Structures are given as structure tokens and as C-alpha cells.
């Protein structure tokens, strides 16, 4: 494989294929270089019926999208069911959280054969507004990973707490230092509010702090490359959580009033219509209801404000 490839990693089950399509369309809109997209998935339908893997057909669809812009681009599917069952399925204190077990896939990527030395992990709830090579080409030789700050975590957890929705990974250094192995162990043994993210923050020694523009969680700025539509905490007029994803078009338009990637939505809808038979019937992908998450967050935030001891 030539070195001029941009390596990308998406993780999830087939309920996030819509997100992967939108993210991929936005990547190729601004970058015509060859891409290697690695899709990590697994079949956990034994745990819950809806936990079905991304399949070959869906990968072919993604490949069609990237090949249209560069015929050397490709999409590679990795089934991590066995690795997950061996490493993280049992005695895992964080298996049943408000997230799905698919959050652990990125922590297993060092176990996958033929991974490139440098790869950009991406959540499936983000949209590119600029060239992916700007982030991929960053020099991380001295680091294990590169991430941007977490919008809420930097206030409520610690000033350097980073968001794991966009992670530029140096696989060589990660393997050398066993950082992902340490992160997996931490997830197995310590109950956490944001398991994979906190484990990456804790277990990677050398982290490069990325500028906000590579993982914009609050609103788009002029220089934004990646807008990550992660969960928002709305304080007024009453405190609640808002979690609108890029493929929830009506809510995106009506509540966020965001129209700046309508061209991509239009293309996405056409693709979806043409490929109805391979799209999932329901897009409900999240673990438990947001209320659960909010209760914990409220305890954390209000608890912290009330006793300002630490």
C-alpha cells in the first residue's frame, strides 16, 4: 500500500451507517487524495437483537462513494467479534452503560492485523467542512495519539481532558507503550461515566493537543475542519440534554437551524433512496435514554459546584 494514503477508521454497528455515509461524503467533498477507510464492527446480537454488524454490502456502498472521487480509494471491513469476546465481553464493568459496547472497538484496533502505522479514528456523528489531510498530515512521531479538548470535560473534569470522537493514532507508539491494552484493562476494572474516552485520556502517555477546529463540539467557526455533533447540555430555560445527529435532518434544520451541509444531505438522501434494501430499518443507535446520562451529569456538575473542595 502506498504511503500517500489517508487512513481513516470508523467503528460501529449497522445503525450508524447513515452517519458513516454523511461523514464520508463530507470527507471526499474537500479531499481528492486516495483514502483507506477501515470499518471496525462486530456482531453482538446475542447481547441485544439490534446489535448487528456493518455488512459487506454497506461497505461496498461506502467504497462506491470514495471511488467516485479517487479510484484508488478503498473500504476495508474488519469483524472484531472474536477479539471483543475474548478481550472485553466478560467481567467488563462498563459493558452496560448509556453507550453501546461498540465504543470499545477503537480500543481494540491494535489487535487488528495489517493496521497502518498512522490512522485517524472518527466518530460517525461528524461532518467535515475542510480538508482531512490538514489533520492527517500532522506530525505525531513523538506521540501516541492526538485529540482536541472535550467541550464540557475541560470545564467539569480537567482542563486538559480530551474528546475521543476524533483521534489521530500512531499505532507504532501505541503498540510500543501498550497504551490501548492499558485502556482496555481500565475499562474492564473501573466504572466510568465516559469509559473509552477517560481510558484514552489516562492510559496514553504522550498526547498531542489538537486545536479546536479539528473537533468542534459547540458550533462551527470560520476555520472549522470537523464539526462533531456530540451531545449538548442546554442550561436554559431548563437544564436538559440535546443530542441531534447529522442524519436527523428535520431536527438539524428546525432546532439547530443548521443548513450548511444541505448539499451533502441531498446526496445522502439520494444514496439512501437508491439503496433502501441495505439500509437499517431503525436508526436508533444510542444505548440508554439520555435521561440516565443527564442524571449522572447533574450529580457530577451540581455536586461539584456545591462542595467546592477540590
Q: Is 165 in the site for Mn ion (CB under 5 A)?
A: yes
Collapsing DSSP to helix, strand or coil, 24 comes out as helix
For Mn ion, the closer of residues 23 and 264 by Cβ is 23
Q: Kindly state the smallest distance separating residue 305's Cβ from Mn ion, in Å.
A: 26
Helix, strand, coil shares, percent, the chain, to 5: 40, 15, 40
Among 18, 63, 123, 216, binds Mn ion (CB under 5 A): 123
Q: Are 225 and 163 in contact (CB under 8 A)?
A: no
Give helix 195-203 / helix 179-189 axis angle, nearest 10°: 130
Binding of residue 216 to Mn ion (CB under 5 A): no
Query: Which 8-state DSSP code applies to residue 226?
Result: E
Rounded distance between C-alpha atoms, residue 4 and residue 70, angstroms:
13
The size of the interface with Mn ion (CB under 5 A), counted in residues, is 4
Site string (124-143) toward Mn ion, x via CB under 5 A: -x------------------
144 contacts Mn ion (rule: CB under 5 A): no
CB 265 within 8 A of CB 272: no
Q: Is 150 in the site for Mn ion (CB under 5 A)?
A: no
Q: Which of the stretches 86-94, 120-128, 215-223, 255-263 binds Mn ion when contact is defined by CB under 5 A?
A: 120-128
Stretch that binds Mn ion, among 36-44, 164-172, 196-204, 209-217 (CB under 5 A): 164-172
Could you tell me the smallest distance in angstroms from the CB atom of residue 234 to Mn ion?
17
Q: Please, are residues 92 and 187 in contact by the beta-carbon 8 Å criterion?
A: yes
Q: Which residue has its beta carbon closest to Mn ion?
A: 123
Q: How many Å apart are CA 163 and CA 143, to the nearest integer?
A: 16
Segment contacting Mn ion by CB under 5 A, of 37-45, 143-151, 230-238, 299-307: 230-238
CA distances from 49 to 19, 92, 256 (A): 20, 20, 32
- Is 208:140 a contact under the CB 8 Å cutoff? yes
Q: Does 230 bind Mn ion (CB under 5 A)?
A: yes
Task: Select from 20-28, 56-64, 161-169, 293-301 the region that touches Mn ion (CB under 5 A).
Answer: 161-169
Restricting to residues 234-293, which ones interact with Mn ion according to CB under 5 A? none
Positions in the binding site for Mn ion (CB under 5 A): 123, 125, 165, 230
Amino acid at each position: 500500500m502506498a504511503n500517500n494514503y489517508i487512513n481513516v477508521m470508523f467503528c460501529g454497528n449497522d445503525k450508524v451507517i447513515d452517519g458513516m455515509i454523511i461523514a464520508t461524503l463530507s470527507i471526499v467533498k474537500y479531499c481528492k487524495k486516495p483514502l483507506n477507510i477501515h470499518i471496525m464492527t462486530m456482531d453482538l446480537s446475542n447481547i441485544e437483537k439490534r446489535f448487528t454488524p456493518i455488512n459487506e454490502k454497506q461497505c461496498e456502498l461506502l467504497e462506491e462513494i470514495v471511488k467516485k472521487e479517487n479510484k484508488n480509494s478503498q473500504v476495508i471491513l474488519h469483524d472484531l467479534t472474536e477479539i471483543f469476546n475474548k478481550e472485553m465481553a466478560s467481567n467488563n464493568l462498563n459493558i452496560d452503560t448509556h453507550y453501546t459496547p461498540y465504543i470499545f472497538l477503537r480500543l481494540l484496533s491494535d489487535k487488528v492485523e495489517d493496521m497502518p502505522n498512522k490512522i485517524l479514528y472518527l466518530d460517525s456523528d461528524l461532518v467535515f467542512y475542510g480538508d482531512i489531510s490538514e489533520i492527517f498530515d500532522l506530525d505525531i512521531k513523538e506521540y501516541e495519539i492526538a485529540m482536541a479538548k472535550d467541550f464540557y470535560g475541560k470545564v467539569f473534569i480537567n482542563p486538559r481532558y480530551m474528546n475521543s470522537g476524533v483521534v489521530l493514532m500512531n499505532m507504532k507508539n501505541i503498540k510500543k507503550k501498550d497504551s490501548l491494552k492499558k485502556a482496555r484493562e481500565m475499562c474492564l476494572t473501573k466504572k466510568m461515566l465516559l469509559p473509552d474516552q477517560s481510558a484514552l485520556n489516562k492510559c496514553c502517555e504522550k498526547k498531542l493537543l489538537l486545536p479546536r477546529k479539528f473537533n468542534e463540539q459547540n458550533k462551527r467557526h470560520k476555520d472549522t475542519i470537523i464539526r462533531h455533533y456530540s451531545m449538548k447540555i442546554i442550561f436554559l430555560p431548563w437544564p436538559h440534554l440535546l443530542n441531534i445527529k447529522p442524519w436527523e435532518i428535520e431536527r438539524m434544520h428546525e432546532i439547530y437551524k443548521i443548513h450548511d451541509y444541505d448539499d451533502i444531505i441531498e446526496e445522502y438522501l439520494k444514496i439512501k433512496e437508491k439503496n433502501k434494501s441495505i439500509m437499517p430499518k431503525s436508526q436508533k443507535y444510542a444505548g440508554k435514554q439520555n435521561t440516565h446520562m443527564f442524571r449522572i451529569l447533574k450529580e457530577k456538575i451540581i455536586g461539584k459546584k456545591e462542595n467546592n473542595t477540590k
